[in-house]
Every structure is written in structure tokens, then in C-alpha cells.
């Protein structure tokens, strides 16, 4: 008996959904606040953006390198008029061509001083000319406008081949000074224990990358390329267990971050700066 194509699609989607639960069980077992603590790289950036001031005067905001519009809904609920920018080779291929401005950060086609706020999260490390890019962000911000920026220090290569630099607080101060920005806040994003938590949290992703994605980097675009099914099937329960245990361990490790006062082993930095 022939099975209608619609039924096949439904069955396939069910199988994929069940597969995702077994491959990434933590995302389905634990509440968001635990995942946010267990993955401090993502959680700290989310918290930084979630603490942006509200915009009662409907300030115009540009999300630079916006990718998959991760913060759009939240920023719009805060009263910002949201616009986005990313380059044509945006890492999330489903988002290609969907941004307000599809262009290079070094040359955004808008008038001087157009924006009240610019958000730039986890983008600076992907820019070959960061000083020119920051000078462009300074140009498009009005005088007194705010820049909210995060970038990496200790973090794996990702978004290859567009991954060029890692930044210290001193490097960020230098770039802002050369771009007519005055920094009002510059803080490390976590310390030693958050750094170790991130390694532990990512450990299952490395295993899953080898089993299900042909060894591709867990920090980038991947296509399903399952290894020998006779190897994969017996290991699925182990992957399930390792994912759960690593998430719990990472969550616990990150809770000790208060003990690291110097934070030399930080995942990166976050800054708030004002256009002079």
C-alpha cells in the first residue's frame, strides 16, 4: 500500500522530533534558567541585552550582525524601533536576505547619526577590520547614542572562515578611544569557573558532532552526516546520559564563579559606550 506523501512528511517530522530529544535531551528536560547558567557564554550575553534600558521615546536601534534575530522580540517589547544588519554570507543560511541592511559593517548605507542605539553581540571577533567597523558604528550613531557590545576572549574557533580576533579589555579600550566612544561599562563575561563550565557544557556537542555531523565543528553550520548506524545506535543512550550529566555539572561549576575575583580566564567582555 502506498503511503501518501503528506503522511510520510508527518512521520518523518515525528521521527526528527524524537531524535532531537534523544540527541539534545537537556533542552527538553531542564528549564531555560538552568540551561542559561550551564551555558554561561550564551546566558551572560542574554542577560546583558535583557538589562538594556527601556525606550519610552521609541528610540531607533540597529542590531549589527543580527544573525537569526535572537533579540528582536525582546528589544521591540522594550519600545525600540528595531532594524537589523548582517552581511550576505550570514552564518544562519535561513536568514540570508532578510535583514534591513544586507551589507558589510564597514559600510552601512544610512545617513550619519541615524540611530539612537546600536547593539553588537558576538560580532567583533568576526571582523577583519574591527577599527574601521567601530568607526562606522560611531558614524551612524547620533552624538550621545549608546553602543552595547559583547565579544569573545577565550572561545573556540567558530563561524569559520570568518573568525579573526580575540579581545582583551585593553584592546577594546583602544578601539573605542580611536572611534570616538567613551566607555561607561567594561566587564568580563564570567571568570574561571564559567570558562570551565562552558568546556564541560560543550563536551557532549563534540561527541555529537563526531557521531551525527561527520566531525564538523559544533560552533558552526553543520549538515547531518551520520556515521555507521551500527556504531551510532548503541551509543545514543550514552549520548543522552552524558548530555544530561554535563549540563548539570556545568550548571554547578558556573555557580562558583563568584570565587574568581580577577577573572583572567574570562569568556569575553561586554561594554557600554557613548558616542562622543
56/171 same-domain check: yes
**Contact call for residues 85 and 99 (beta carbons, < 8 A):** yes
Q: What kind and span of H or E run contains 61?
A: strand 60-64
In a domain, 20, yes or no: yes
- CA distances, 237 to each of 19, 23, 151, 268 (Å): 12, 9, 36, 34
Amino acid 97: pLDDT: 72
pLDDT given at position 231: 74
pTM across the whole model: 0.87
Has residue 213 been placed in a domain? Answer: yes
Domain membership flag for residue 35: no
Residues 73 and 107 in one domain: yes
pLDDT band of residue 124 (cuts 50, 70, 90) is very high
Residues 156 and 267 placed together within one structural domain of the fold: yes
- Do 118 and 179 lie in one domain? The reply is yes
CATH of residue 140's domain is: 3.40.50.150
Specify whether 56 is located in the same domain as 151: yes
pLDDT at 206: 86
How many structural domains comprise the chain? Answer: 2
pLDDT for residue 130: 97
Residues 123 and 187 in one domain: yes
Q: Are residues 244 and 128 in the same domain?
A: no
Q: With b meaning 16 or more CB within 10 Å and e meaning fewer, what string describes 117-149?
A: bbbbbbbbbbbeebeebbbbbbbbbeeebbbbb
User: Do 73 and 171 sit in the same domain of this protein?
Assistant: yes
Indicate whether 153 belongs to any domain.
yes
Q: By percentage, how much of the chain surpasses pLDDT 90?
A: 66
pLDDT in tens, 205-246: 888 888 777 665 666 666 667 777 777 777 888 888 999 999
- Domain range holding 270? 40-191+263-275
Amino acid at each position: 500500500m502506498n503511503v501518501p506523501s503528506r503522511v510520510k512528511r508527518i512521520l518523518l517530522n515525528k521521527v526528527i522530533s524524537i531524535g532531537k530529544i534523544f540527541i539534545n535531551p537537556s533542552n527538553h528536560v531542564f528549564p531555560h534558567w538552568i540551561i542559561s547558567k550551564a551555558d554561561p557564554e550564551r546566558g551572560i550575553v542574554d542577560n546583558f541585552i535583557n538589562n538594556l534600558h527601556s525606550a519610552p521615546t521609541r528610540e531607533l536601534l540597529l542590531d549589527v550582525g543580527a544573525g537569526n534575530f535572537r533579540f528582536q522580540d525582546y528589544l521591540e517589547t522594550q519600545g525600540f524601533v528595531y532594524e537589523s544588519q548582517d552581511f550576505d554570507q550570514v552564518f544562519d543560511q535561513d536568514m540570508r536576505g532578510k535583514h534591513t541592511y544586507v551589507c558589510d559593517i564597514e559600510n552601512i548605507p544610512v545617513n550619519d547619526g541615524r540611530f539612537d542605539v546600536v547593539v553588537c553581540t558576538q560580532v567583533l571577533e568576526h571582523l577583519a577590520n574591527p577599527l574601521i567597523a567601530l568607526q562606522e558604528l560611531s558614524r551612524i550613531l547620533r552624538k550621545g547614542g549608546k553602543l552595547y557590545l559583547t565579544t569573545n576572549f577565550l572561545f573556540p574557533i567558530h563561524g569559520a572562515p570568518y573568525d579573526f580576533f580575540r579581545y582583551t579589555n585593553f584592546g577594546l579600550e583602544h578601539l573605542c578611544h580611536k572611534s570616538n566612544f567613551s566607555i561607561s561599562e567594561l566587564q568580563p563575561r564570567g571568570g574561571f569557573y564559567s570558562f570551565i563550565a562552558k568546556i564541560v557544557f560543550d563536551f557532549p556537542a563534540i561527541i555529537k558532532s563526531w557521531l551525527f555531523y561527520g566531525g564538523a565543528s559544533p560552533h558552526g553550520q553543520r549538515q547531518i552526516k551520520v556515521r555507521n548506524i551500527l556504531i551510532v545506535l548503541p551509543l545514543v543512550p550514552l549520548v543522552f546520559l552524558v548530555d544530561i550529566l554535563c549540563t548539570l555539572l556545568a550548571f554547578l561549576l558556573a555557580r562558583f564563579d563568584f570565587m574568581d575575583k580577577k577573572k583572567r580566564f574570562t569568556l569575553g567582555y561586554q561594554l557600554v559606550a557613548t558616542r562622543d
